[in-house]
Structure 1
């Protein structure tokens, strides 16, 4: 894994003083950077999933709020811009966390001082995310090494790599670390319908890094586990409740159930910023419902190499499209964080909180 901006999802240009992100809706067919220059552009990038993944959503929102304050640093615009960004995606708690970070940094300052302070805080959040994700990778590597396998067959769901953070990723960070350390790794990449983040993003990332991987249909994952072709499952988290319940891309819960039935460890990798300490359990986590068109149609390249949308269902069909589900804490073998590996429980999270408060 490179430490350069070649393998990052959001970059800051100090010369033009602008933010650029990879338009992830175009992957894997095209790699295109998109410049964000206004509050509506930042909101659009998050809501349409040009950027996605809980940590990256938060970092993007931080820069979006800093951008808004550069135009108007009044209290009214601070509240207005923060509310607009907060409304883009309801589930990922990093969004609220990052906006609170910027707000707390500037709210006591004179308006003239706010733009620069907000920008510096956004830049520091970006750097902290890189460091934290690398630490997640190192801590996760300890768990992978303890499995004592000649070759590790790891299953993932959705995308929790550097496209979902700034660099390294969460669930993919231990895989990148294992690959770099010489451990033979193979990754089962579940397609992750309906937006196919596994097929479009995770497989693309792993190919670029030289990590062997195989795309599989979501419905085949339980059978692969039953056949003992999977050594462990690692996923990310968009919000983790204070009792250890984990909210992640829809389909995660089914993989956790299959892993438990097959006696396979199910790990969740996340930064502390993804923990909602005010949320007592997964029952209180809001589940985003996205447009039914994502289920009823699919996009891709045709034989001529042209991109297009194809309808999958009969006319007048309807669909229900929840973007996330909740996996109960008792199905999670460990939470992999930048502070270490912890039990997915009230006690485990209290231990994490105590360590985090001392750092």
Structure 2
């Protein structure tokens, strides 16, 4: 099994001051401090034996603090030789698709083809759309057209496009990518049923970014493969992002519960889940208004909490056993662990990552990760 390291540079220490609108105090921990330490942990990915390094995309709040994951992946492409890269996720509606295609192609060149998982999604948080001036009710259409445009850009020397949102005259992507299969590397993250089906019909591989119980994810993998079979496509296995805290013993790992609670708070505040008016009347977000949608690591319903099935918390032995059990449920082909959430001291993040790499990673690298019959869609 392939195992990647996923890093979201959250400044959870500043969440409450920021959302309370208190501009009279300075942050307890500066954004630059968080970034410096997160980048230092990213530098550990290759020497510790991880297979890849992934980053998310977020704007305008202490949550995520990564406005362009391609930028930070280009930084690490110049600092590494072996590891591959992924995005969890690029929010397609925030980009002009021609610019996005060019930047992906450029990273493909810089990394010598190591950008393997082009994770795409449509975004959720009202504040992020508002600060960019992008209408949220266009998000699904923008994502659909972006997928079509990226597919054309990566399979044709030149292309044009006429859609409801984008009109593109004949153009080419230059520099051309070094990889000939970029269109096949597109992955779709979805939180609702309609998005899942649209992504499946577009041929995207499912990418679950910790956003639902894995038994639900297993049902969705089966549905994706049923759709693919109807379209004459072969079945696929999802890739999963799982939140991880590795400690010497299960007893010592209990302290991660505090960080999970802080992460629950951060997600609710960032996405505005506590205020239904953030979603009511917005085309494409009806399930969120009804409490049936979910975003990063949040389950549906009033509690809006991390689902326990997405958490790899415990001793190395416990985590190994849990990954094996979850793979049987969801048939994922690889995982990305996200070791930083809540107000976890960054020294603890590093200790957790190092212990995981030493005790868990070698075992997972030897673990089989098949597509199980229940998920094949047959």
TM-score, normalised to structure 2, is 0.33
Looking at both structures, which has the greater relative contact order when contacts are Cα pairs under 8 Å and sequence separation is at least 6?
2
